[in-house]
Structure 1
Amino acid sequence: MEIKLDKQSANQASIKINLNEADYQPKVDAKIKDYAKKANIKGFRPGKAPIGMVKKMYGTSVLVEEINDILSKSLSDYIKEQSFKLLGEPLPAVEDADAIDWKNQKEFEFEYKIGFVENVNITLDKSIKATDYKLKVDKKAIDDAIANLRSQYGKMTNPEVSQENDFLYGDLKAADGSFDQALSLPLSKFDGRSVKKFIGVEKGAEIEFDPSKAIKSDLAEVLGISEEEAEKVSGNYTFTVQNINRTEDADMDQEFFDKVFGPDQIKTEEEFVAKIEEILGDNYNKETKVFTEEKIKEVLTEKANIELPEAFLKEWLIKANEGKVSQEDVEKEFPIYAKQLSWSLISNKLAEENEIKAEHEDVIAKTQEMVREQLAASGLGAQMEDNMDMFVNNYLQGNEGQNYMQMLTAAQNDKVLDLVKEKITLKEEKIDVEQFKELVQN
């Protein structure tokens, strides 16, 4: 057997494996003899068929099987001995495989295309600079959050006279009889001029208007009809008020504090405002932490200047996801994939050099953090904490172990980023919400 590496560029090569009869024939003969002992061939007692007949029947398939086993092990062992980092999987030269004459050939040559990187060089020091963004929680953000909570926990009333932001329930009819439906109209969805007709009215009032001109947001959503039906809504309509619904803001009292944060957690309005500011700060800075870390990754990726085997990787992605992605899909998504792959190479290199390794308890903690965020987003946070172990175990056991490996990688990545932040120059910059939105958009 002969194995040769033929480099075509700094990061792409082919591996050629040459096999002669001595490399595979002993294994093929042994396998055929084993077949002959077990073969049940018509006209012969089990295991008594002539070896020549068994060879004629099974020889080619055994040859292919044994050569494939030899190739797989030899290729794997050879790659392990190399200093470079293999990317993707070796791609066999299909045209060469199709040309093989399995019945008559004695010597075989197989070729595999590979993509790799030789070295990932990155040194962490104070010359590497990045910005650590922190969000300032301004008074408007606090006031808006409190206003939303007071509205959310407020009580529904049915006043006699309508005001701005009320919901009017009643019958909406088209003058030509093409539409007749009972519904609730949110006055907040009307434009500034049209809404004046609906303010200061009482039950029983009849209001004429054109919904297509008066309603500023999604007409289909407001009226509860399909997009096709909404396109036909135009002209004179009459709305007859049957009821006025209004949500009155909750008072800033103990009952409200208990509803939001649980019994006796907050005692005064000052404590409530301070708690809202703390939560907003935590939520904002989770977002800025992700943004900061993405920028740090960009800085390190640029410094490492890893040259990826782009042509090979695109071909490998298409073949590895055969039938699931097109050439166009790969071309479109490749920049994102290349960015993630480059960072993965850097992160693994730093973890190896600094003996960073995620343990099982790190995986559990990382998964708990993810589950808590998901539960909080659905409004089920505190009351589901007792079931945390069940949620975590169910997630980590799912997807045939892939979920566990993903969380293991994420936990290790967190540790690498913590090290990076210690080693480089990280300058804190406080920004407001609007500045952060602008940064993200850019």
Structure 2
Amino acid sequence: MEITLDKHSANQASIKIKLNEADYQPKVDAKLKDFAKKSNIKGFRPGKAPISMVKNIYGTSVLVEEINGILSESLNNYLKEQTFKILGEPLPVEQSETIDWKTQKDFEFDYKIGFVENIDLNLDSKIKATKYQIKVDDKLVKETIDNLLSQYGNSTNPEVSEEGDHIYGDLKATEGEFEKTVTLDPTPITKKLAGKFIKVSKGDVVEFDAKDVKKGQWQEAFGLSDEEAAEISGPMTLTVQNINRTEAAELNQEFFDKIFGPDTVKSEEEFTTKVQETLQSNYDKESKVFTEEELKKVLTETAKVDLPEEFLKEWLILANEGKVSAEDVEKEFPMYAKQLTWSLISNKVATENDIKAEHEEVIEKTKQMVREQFAASGLGAQMEDSMDMFVDNYLKGEEGQNYMNMLTSIQNEKVLAFALDKISVKEKEISIDEFKELLEK
């Protein structure tokens, strides 16, 4: 057997494997002898058929099977010995000449591979990143409490509308065929236009012009789709069918218990503090995730990993066995490339610094995830006795892939924490509005 490697570029190469008869024939002969012992061929007692007949019947299929096995094992072993990191899987190159399995003795097979030679990343103070901290201010706390009071308040249908009421009715174009029943939330629209919907009653017809509705307000205030909003123009009417008003709940013990559970807080001051703490905890998680994603960008840009893009695109199409098209791969490849690059960097840092995710950590992180999911549904306390069952079922799900995903997630967290400790980090406190602006970039 002869295996040769020919590098075409910094990240792609071809591998040629040459086999002669001595490489495969002993295995083929052994397999045919085993077939002869077990075969049940008409006209002969079981296991007594001549080897020549067995070879005539099974010879080609056994030859193909054994050569494929040799190729797979040899190629895998050869790639393990290389210093570069293989990406995807080797792609067989179609033979220019048809193989004659009946008479051919020597065989030659070609494969294409994609790889990365090395990942150059030194975690030191030359690398700069920002660690964001979202500040929960009094304004945000007040807005949250007001929303909760509204959400848990009583709904009524008054005869005459006031500022802030939602108007349910038939929206219609004066010229044209557009007509749809909508619920108008006047909050997003201009004060001037919103004023037209104050002091109206059931049956009233409110007239306005489509140009008075700014970009995005058809969707946000009237609940229309982008397509519906695009076709609206000129004079409009909204015929009022009903008026919906939510009366704010009272800040009392019943309200406190609905939000945080019985007797968790017992005064307005405690309630406000609890809301602030809850908001801060939630935004701490969001800012942590955002900081980590930004750090990934910094590290991937610093490492400058050169991926074999054309090879990977071809491999993705073949690996998905017709489930995705070339157009699909082209569209999704930038995201795939980012994820692959980060995975390579994370594994390199983890290997070089002995960073590992332990089984106990996987169990604990899964428990935390399950608790958060059940807490959101209000069933947190009831499921603790069955926690081990929930965790075990989840980690065994998707044929064990959930366990591997959790393992990878923990390793990534450890790698990012390690990186933050090594590089130059500037801490920056931002408001929730500034945070939203960062997310939109």
Same fold (TM over 0.5): yes
Name the amino acid aligned to 1:253.
Answer: N
- Counterpart of 1:60 in structure 2 is 60
- Counterpart of 2:287 in structure 1 is 288
- Counterpart of 2:417 in structure 1 is 418
SS at match of 2:133: strand
- Counterpart of 1:352 in structure 2 is 351
- Counterpart of 2:93 in structure 1 is 93
Pair 1:298-2:297 in alignment: yes
- Counterpart of 2:204 in structure 1 is 207
Pair 1:325-2:324 in alignment: yes
Which residues in structure 2 correspond to 1:205-354 (within 5 Å)?
206-209=203-206, 217=218, 239=240, 245-354=244-353
SS at match of 1:95: coil
1:298 is displaced (CA, Å) by 1.8
1:227 is displaced (CA, Å) by 6.8
- The alignment's TM-score, normalised by the length of structure 1, stands at 0.86
For the residues of structure 1 that align with 2:178 and 2:6, how far apart are their CA atoms? 75
For the residues of structure 1 that align with 2:435 and 2:429, how far apart are their CA atoms? 10
> Would you say how many aligned residue pairs link Structure 1 and Structure 2?
433
For the residues of structure 2 that align with 1:430 and 1:286, how far apart are their CA atoms? 14
Distance 1:18 1:273, change over 3 A: same
Distance 1:168 1:333, change over 3 A: closer
1:12 is displaced (CA, Å) by 1.4
Q: Deviations over 1:239-279 (max 9, x none)?
A: 466xx553211112222111111111112212211221222
Name the amino acid aligned to 1:368.
Answer: K
- Counterpart of 2:27 in structure 1 is 27
Does the 8 Å contact 1:16/1:112 carry over to 2? yes
Does the 8 Å contact 1:90/1:113 carry over to 2? yes
Name the amino acid aligned to 2:413.
Answer: D
Q: Deviations over 1:97-118 (max 9, x none)?
A: x621111110011111111122
Does the 8 Å contact 1:198/1:207 carry over to 2? no
Does the 8 Å contact 2:182/2:223 carry over to 1? no
Name the amino acid aligned to 1:324.
Answer: K
For the residues of structure 2 that align with 1:356 and 1:115, how far apart are their CA atoms? 27
1:331 is displaced (CA, Å) by 2.1
For the residues of structure 2 that align with 1:257 and 1:402, how far apart are their CA atoms? 41
- Counterpart of 2:380 in structure 1 is 382
1:371 is displaced (CA, Å) by 3.4
For the residues of structure 2 that align with 1:271 and 1:24, how far apart are their CA atoms? 79
- Counterpart of 1:18 in structure 2 is 18
Report the identity percentage. 61
Distance 1:143 1:114, change over 3 A: same
Q: Which moved more, 1:281-290 or 1:185-194?
A: 185-194
Distance 1:15 1:195, change over 3 A: closer
Does the 8 Å contact 2:165/2:244 carry over to 1? yes
For the residues of structure 2 that align with 1:151 and 1:220, how far apart are their CA atoms? 18
SS at match of 2:56: helix
Does the 8 Å contact 2:168/2:240 carry over to 1? no
Distance 1:120 1:137, change over 3 A: same
Name the amino acid aligned to 1:71.
Answer: L
For the residues of structure 2 that align with 1:220 and 1:441, how far apart are their CA atoms? 21
- The alignment's TM-score, normalised by the length of structure 2, stands at 0.86
For the residues of structure 2 that align with 1:183 and 1:8, how far apart are their CA atoms? 62
- Counterpart of 1:120 in structure 2 is 119
RMSD: 3.5
SS at match of 2:15: strand
- Counterpart of 1:49 in structure 2 is 49
Q: Which moved more, 1:214-223 or 1:274-283?
A: 214-223
Does the 8 Å contact 1:297/1:343 carry over to 2? yes
For the residues of structure 1 that align with 2:238 and 2:12, how far apart are their CA atoms? 70
SS at match of 2:88: strand
1:87 is displaced (CA, Å) by 1.0
Q: Deviations over 1:164-198 (max 9, x none)?
A: 333567999999xx999999776668875565565
Distance 1:334 1:170, change over 3 A: closer
Does the 8 Å contact 1:173/1:239 carry over to 2? no
1:410 is displaced (CA, Å) by 0.6
For the residues of structure 2 that align with 1:128 and 1:183, how far apart are their CA atoms? 53
For the residues of structure 2 that align with 1:339 and 1:171, how far apart are their CA atoms? 48
SS at match of 1:270: helix
Does the 8 Å contact 2:39/2:46 carry over to 1? yes
SS at match of 1:28: helix
For the residues of structure 2 that align with 1:19 and 1:139, how far apart are their CA atoms? 76
For the residues of structure 1 that align with 2:24 and 2:100, how far apart are their CA atoms? 16
Q: Which moved more, 1:20-29 or 1:3-12?
A: 3-12
- Counterpart of 2:368 in structure 1 is 369
SS at match of 2:95: helix
Q: Which moved more, 1:303-312 or 1:206-215?
A: 206-215
For the residues of structure 2 that align with 1:109 and 1:184, how far apart are their CA atoms? 71
Q: Deviations over 1:103-155 (max 9, x none)?
A: 11100111111111222232222222111011121222111111111111112
Name the amino acid aligned to 1:257.
Answer: F
Name the amino acid aligned to 2:204.
Answer: I
Name the amino acid aligned to 2:10.
Answer: A
SS at match of 1:99: coil
Q: Deviations over 1:27-70 (max 9, x none)?
A: 11111111112222222222222211111111100100111111
Distance 1:194 1:315, change over 3 A: closer
Pair 1:3-2:3 in alignment: yes
For the residues of structure 2 that align with 1:311 and 1:57, how far apart are their CA atoms? 42
Distance 1:250 1:419, change over 3 A: same
Does the 8 Å contact 1:89/1:316 carry over to 2? yes
